[in-house]
Structure formats: C-alpha cells, structure tokens
Homo-oligomer: A and B are copies of this chain.
Amino acid sequence: MAETARHPESRYGNRPTMKDVAARAGVGLKTVSRVVNSEPGVTPDTERRVQEAIEALGFRRNDSARVLRKGRTASIGLVLEDLADPFYGPLSRAVEEVARAHGALLINGSSAEDPDREQELVLALCARRVDGLIVIPAGDDHRYLEPEIKAGIATVFVDRPAGRVEADMVLSDSFGGAREGVAHLVAHGHRRIGFIGDQPRIHTAKERLRGYHEALTDAGITVEDSWVSLGSTDPARVRAAAETMLTGPDPVTALFAGNNRVTVTVVRVLAECDRRIALVGFDDIELADLLGITVISQDAAAVGRTAAEHLFRRLDGADHAPARVELPTRLIPRGSGELPPA
C-alpha cells in the first residue's frame, strides 16, 4: 500500500521532519533542533549520528515553522514599479546586497504603476510577515499601511514620498536636478525649451516639472503651454509630443526629458531630425556617453543602498522620528546639452 501523504494537498511531497531525523538517529526531537541550529550542549558523537541521519534523509529545516515559532522571517519585501526598467535593476540589486549582509532574503514584486496592485502586493508581503518593507509608491494614499506600521513593520518609501502616512523616505532631488538641467540649457543660450514628462500624479514627474518651471522663471522666461507635455511614457505618445514641439511655427530649440524612458524615445526622434536640437535627460542611460547625451544622473544603487540601510537600522531598534533623505543628482555634460540653439 502506498504511504499516505501528510498533506493531502501538498505539492512538495513529504519532506522529512526533525521528528523523522530524531527517530532515525535514535535521539530526541530537541536534540536534532540543537544540531541543526548549532546550539551548544550536544556531544560530538550524538551530533555525528544526527548529521548522518540528516544527510541520509535529505532533511532541510522548514523555515515556515521556524518563522511561526520565532516571530521573525529574516526577509524583507521590495515593491517597485517595473523590474525591467533599467533604473530599478541596480536599485534592487543594492537592496539585495544590504539584505544579504543582514542575513535576510528579498521578496519582490512590481506594481506596474498601479496603486491597487501596489496595495495588493504590499499586503501580501505583510501577510508573509516580512520584517520590513521598501516601497516605491505607485499610489498616493498609504493609510492602508497604518496597522502594519503600528505593528512595527519597518517601512521605507523610496523615490517618491509616502501618502498620508508617517514613514522614512529616501528620494532623489528631482526638483533640484531638473532645475539644474534646464538652467544648463538656458546657460547655453536656449530660451524655448520643451519638457516631456511622466504622468503628473507621479511625484517625481511633478517635482521635475516644478524644477523646469523654476529654472525658466529664474531666467525671466515665461513658459508656454505648448512647451510642456505630460502623460504616459509610451514611445508613441512621447514621439508625438516631441514631434509637435519640434515642428510648428515657433519650435523649441531644446528638450528636457523627464526620465530615462522618455529620453530614449526623444533621442530616437532627434536622430531623425535634421536640425541639431539640444537635449538633457533625467536619469543616466547605458551608452549615453557614446551617444553624447547630457543627463541628470541619479545613483540608483545609492538610493537602494541608503533605503535598505535605513530599514535595517529600524529593524535593529532605531526609533527616531521618520527621516526624509534626499540624495543629490549630478549633471553629466556629454554634448547634447551643450549644443547652441539651432
């Protein structure tokens, strides 16, 4: 007769438990636990017997049970917008490195810029009882996190501020970066500068737009409506926006691209254009050096690292008031931002 499964519905079969190991080694359950966790108080001989049994059975401790008992999961959750976006790869990697240094695993998910999906993901992570959360917010209302924060789940918001909730944040200086980039164009003689950005409900998009306005205002330039285009970063839309600004009766002589995806599309449009249009993009891009694209660079890895370090400081007991860190950006001139007006 076939051995009956412990979990009728289980898909991972019957893994041996400490009880099985104990039986095989002829010792008590707790002794196995001690060996598995390298606790003191086991004679070498007993330990050897237990190790042999573990080996023979292919036993692996069940961390679910361990977590239940101990109350900590040694894992943190990372919710970002899109892992496939080159900005988030290094960020995610940096978070992972810090987590690893603290012996924690990383569970992550993409919100695809959808607030509902963000909440769903975050709550799923909380149900797993991750020790902490790093969230790149898609939505702007995070009150749903109140019970979790009250319960002590450390939370750090990254890249964009949290909505209606008190928590640590690590941001890049979107406002200052955009202002610097636009001022750079102004300094090279441009008076008519277009701005193509992401949806204005996204905080960074709003801030960058604000920086754009401020730079032009500082230069005594009045922004015309036709110079600004906000919306999805879908290539077709961006392309249309760029083409509109570049044609027409009184075209712009320079463009500021609100993020890496916009920049990529704009570069393509400009490549097909016969006039030399100046361009500064927010976010650095691989190979931008070879293409001579001037950018406002934010250090994604530094952002991720900083956020993760904050998180673990919280987990280690720090309970100061929520901090807001803003990391500086850096203008990297590579040619496209230094072109004079056509």
Interface-forming stretch among A27-35, A105-113, A167-175?
A: A105-113
> Are A127 and B287 in contact, with the CB atoms below 8 A?
no
Chain B residues near A267 (CB-CB < 8 A): 287, 290
Q: Please, which residue of chain B has its CB at the minimum distance from the CB of A73?
A: B64
> Are B62 and A127 in contact, with the CB atoms below 8 A?
yes
Q: Does A229 contact B (CB under 8 A)?
A: no
Q: Does A328 contact B (CB under 8 A)?
A: no
Q: Does A3 contact B (CB under 8 A)?
A: no
Pick the contact of A150 from B58, B88, B131, B291 — CB < 8 Å?
B58
| 19 more CB-based (< 8 A) A-B contacts, given A83-B96, A89-B89 | A7-B72, A11-B71, A12-B131, A13-B152, A58-B150, A59-B147, A60-B147, A63-B124, A63-B128, A64-B64, A65-B68, A75-B107, A83-B89, A105-B109, A105-B124, A107-B107, A108-B108, A267-B290, A291-B291
Chain B residues near A106 (CB-CB < 8 A): 107-109
Pick the contact of A264 from B90, B105, B287, B315 — CB < 8 Å?
B287
Q: Check A90/B96 contact, CB under 8 A, given A64-B67, A123-B60.
A: no
> Are B92 and A83 in contact, with the CB atoms below 8 A?
yes
Chain B residues near A6 (CB-CB < 8 A): 71
Chain A contributes a number of interface residues (CB within 8 A of B) equal to 72
Q: Does A101 contact B (CB under 8 A)?
A: no
Q: In the complex, what distance in Å separates the CA atom of A150 from the CA atom of B58? A: 9
Q: Does A271 contact B (CB under 8 A)?
A: yes
Chain B residues near A285 (CB-CB < 8 A): 286-287
Pick the contact of A72 from B9, B67, B92 — CB < 8 Å?
B9
Pick the contact of A129 from B57, B64, B291 — CB < 8 Å?
B64
Q: Does A15 contact B (CB under 8 A)?
A: yes
Q: In the complex, what distance in Å separates the CA atom of A146 from the CA atom of B109? A: 29
**In A1-41, which residues have CB < 8 Å from any B CB?**
6-7, 9-15
Chain B residues near A330 (CB-CB < 8 A): none
Q: Does A70 contact B (CB under 8 A)?
A: yes
Q: Would you mind naming 26 contact pairs between A and B with Cβ atoms under 8 Å apart?
A: A7-B72, A11-B152, A11-B154, A11-B315, A12-B71, A12-B129, A13-B151, A13-B152, A58-B147, A58-B148, A60-B147, A62-B68, A63-B129, A64-B68, A83-B83, A84-B92, A84-B93, A86-B286, A93-B110, A105-B109, A106-B108, A106-B109, A264-B287, A267-B287, A285-B286, A286-B286
> Which residues of chain A have a CB within 8 Å of any CB of chain B?
6-7, 9-15, 57-65, 67-68, 70-73, 75, 82-86, 88-90, 92-93, 96, 100, 105-110, 123-129, 131, 146-148, 150-154, 264, 267-268, 271, 285-291, 301, 315
Q: In the complex, what distance in Å separates the CA atom of A154 from the CA atom of B61? A: 18
Q: In the complex, what distance in Å separates the CA atom of A60 from the CA atom of B125? A: 11
> Are A64 and B286 in contact, with the CB atoms below 8 A?
no
Q: Check A9/B290 contact, CB under 8 A, given A60-B147, A123-B60.
A: no
- Residue from A65, A88, A105, A148 whose CB has the most chain B CB atoms within 10 Å: A105
> Are A129 and B286 in contact, with the CB atoms below 8 A?
no
Chain B residues near A100 (CB-CB < 8 A): 109
> Are A151 and B68 in contact, with the CB atoms below 8 A?
no
> Are B83 and A86 in contact, with the CB atoms below 8 A?
no
> Are B89 and A85 in contact, with the CB atoms below 8 A?
yes
